[in-house]
Structure 1
Amino acid sequence: MDIPRIIHSNNKVRGMSTSDIDELAQFQVNKNRRYTQLYAGQLEGDYLEINLGKLQVFREKLNVGALIEATPASNFIPFAALLSNRDDSNFCGKHIEQNAILQATGGDWDVNFKDHLNVIAAVFDRDTFAHDIHLLTGEEIPNDWLISKACLTDPLALTQYATGVNNIINVIQAKSEVIKTENSLRMINDTILRLAYNVLKVTTPCTEKRVNQSKRCEGVRQVMDYLHSYGESVPTIPELCKIAKLSERNLQYGFKEYLGVTPVRYLRLLRLNGVRRDLLMNQSAKNKVVDVALNWGFIELGRFASEYRQLFQELPSTTLRKAN
């Protein structure tokens, strides 16, 4: 029997490559998984999970047809997207249609497939997820989100969710130090929350009331004043909704009316300005561009450098050389 190869990068990143299907189940702590190989082939399984505080993301690959059954703990709320072919796959006894998000949120669930599996998922802490959705919408989580089933959603939102979470996994796998700073963790959690919300709000919309313009403008000013004093803490969008006393949609309307940009774009511009300010103030030459960028919550460093250059018409390394 092949010996499974287990990789422990640190206490936040765990991975396994194995040909032993039972080892794969045992490796996934508190998920109560059971695997049964259904079709012929020499099994190869790959599993990678990244723990981000109250949120976990994972990617799992199997090269032969199998049945996976699970009874996750009640405090877990997983939402999964298939990167592999859906034509031969069933979830909770029903065929998985194109553009479907898998809600493994209602206790027992199972998935079976004939060929291979490639899936990514975000697993939220139930209480934290409910709290953040309330901040974003002003409403409670729809009960329909808490039922294990495959739900049709907007194709673009689903693609953005699948590729967004997968890209975050790839970035952290390649460079685990990006999650060592609190601000980077907060930005990653916020990004994944909003990617998931954009998928789910299509399946069962939350009811949101549109408030009047004066209240929206008042909320925007409160957010701007807060960011002027505490922007270096890199607040998340749910936190800004709480400060403004507005749902995300109303906050977005307000920012578009007041500044012509979304709150997400404004926060990103604020963070880029924060990086530039810190680079220019760097008198000791001890800090590197990457350190400053991570401190402001940027983990995709190539994209960061491109956006920085577009905004300020120079590379961040050029700014740093000016300071020194």
Structure 2
Amino acid sequence: MNRSIHHFQDVHAHAASVAHWSQLVYSQLASGALESSLQQLSSERCHAFRERINKRVVQQGEAPRDSVCFAVPISMPGTVRMQGRDADGSSLYFLRGGEEFMCHMPTGMDLLSIAFDRAFFDATLREVPFADDIARLLRQPVIKVPQQRFVECRQRLLAIFSEALVNDEMSGTPARQDELEHALLGELLRLVMDPACDRHQRSGSSTQDFIVEKCHRMAMAETMSAPSVMELCERLQVSRRTVQNSFRAVADTTPLSYLRSVRLNGVRRALMSSRAGDLTVGDAAGQWGFFHLSHFAAEYQELFGELPSQTPRAARWHDA
């Protein structure tokens, strides 16, 4: 079993270090120096990781194929928006392999995510009561579960994960790894098997989340000529007030600040993934629609706590 513990001062280096999630893109939305930690366990049929980030971030990407993915909030000092659904610190999050996702995380997030091999998960699910009901329930990305039962499950999952992270005996042999995989999956399945869990719950995505996601994707796609807020309103055929209220509800910020942060994160990824001789700061900024370099440098420093010229340049990222 592979085990690792890393600390970072950059959300992009953090995201790039999450094993098996090659499509992850994190963007820092809250200003200031970022600090994060990433603890990981990987076995043949399971990958578990706990991540803590001290700034508000938006996560997007694609869940690993041939997997099913659960996430359990350890601490969420604020509202989470997962796949357009309102979630909280006592909700279970779920993604199918290959599914695209977007998740808005509050400042100070602490999340335990566990991905299982799909064949292993399906075989285990067939052996439990209410298998068909549970399979239907897991079509939802956010699952409301009984709060006390969730707290107990979270404590056990965290104890299993933490012990396996430091104890060689818990993961040193194939038999112990098999035991660990079944223990983690068993806890999650027992949670959704609980008689108090509504296995027929349904929740749709909100219009506000739809608006924010569409604006986010347009900003990512049209980097050199980033659309203005008014242009976004015209394309979506909604009022400026609707757009403003949507960003405030979903990301606790303004449309202008959010979209500027997304573009600044794009510049930072470009700088960190290239050598200084191959891409200048000015060219990287221009690729994301920043053409007034003094204003750009000030905005970059405000968000990340450093000037773009101070950002590490290399073909590969290192943890801090």
State the TM-score, normalizing by the size of structure 1.
0.55
Map 1:192-207 → 2, pairs under 5 A: 192-201=184-193, 202-204=197-199
| Cα gap change, 1:148 to 1:20, in 2 (>3 Å) | farther
Matched, 1:33 2:51: no
Cα distance per residue 1:233-262 (max 9 Å; x no partner): xxxxxxxxxxxxxxxxxxxxxxxxxxxxxx
Residue 136 of structure 1: CA displacement? Answer: 2.3
* SS in structure 2 of the partner of residue 137 of structure 1: coil
Q: Is the 8 A contact 2:79 2:88 kept in 1?
A: no
| 1:57 aligned residue (48, 52, 63) | 48
Cα distance per residue 1:10-61 (max 9 Å; x no partner): x511232111222112212331110000111211121111013211211011
For the aligned residue pairs, the C-alpha RMSD in angstroms reads 2.2
Q: Indicate the structure whose relative CO is greater, using CA pairs within 8 Å and at least 6 residues apart.
A: 2
| Cα gap change, 1:176 to 1:70, in 2 (>3 Å) | farther
Q: Distance in 2 between matches of 1:113 and 1:139?
A: 31
Q: How many residues align?
A: 195
| 1:174 aligned residue (166, 178, 181) | 166
Q: Distance in 1 between matches of 2:41 and 2:100?
A: 23
| 1:136 aligned residue (98, 103, 128) | 128
- The structure where helix makes up a greater share of residues is 1
Cα distance per residue 1:261-293 (max 9 Å; x no partner): xxxxxxxxxxxxxxxxxxxxxxxxxxxxxxxxx
List runs of 5+ in structure 1 lacking aligned partners.
Answer: 1-10, 206-324
Partner of 2:314: none
Q: Distance in 2 between matches of 1:145 and 1:192?
A: 19
List runs of 5+ in structure 2 lacking aligned partners.
Answer: 201-320
Residue 203 of structure 1: CA displacement? Answer: 4.4
Q: Distance in 1 between matches of 2:77 and 2:101?
A: 17
State the TM-score, normalizing by the size of structure 2.
0.56
The percentage of counterpart residues that share the same residue type is 13
Partner of 1:90: 81
| Cα gap change, 1:102 to 1:187, in 2 (>3 Å) | same
Q: Distance in 1 between matches of 2:58 and 2:163?
A: 30
* SS in structure 1 of the partner of residue 150 of structure 2: helix
Q: Is the 8 A contact 1:43 1:63 kept in 2?
A: yes
Q: Distance in 1 between matches of 2:68 and 2:133?
A: 12
| Cα gap change, 1:177 to 1:142, in 2 (>3 Å) | closer
Partner of 2:100: 108
Larger mean CA deviation between 34-43 and 151-160 belongs to 151-160
Q: Distance in 2 between matches of 1:138 and 1:154?
A: 17
Q: Is the 8 A contact 1:49 1:59 kept in 2?
A: yes
Matched, 1:24 2:14: yes
Q: Distance in 1 between matches of 2:119 and 2:198?
A: 21
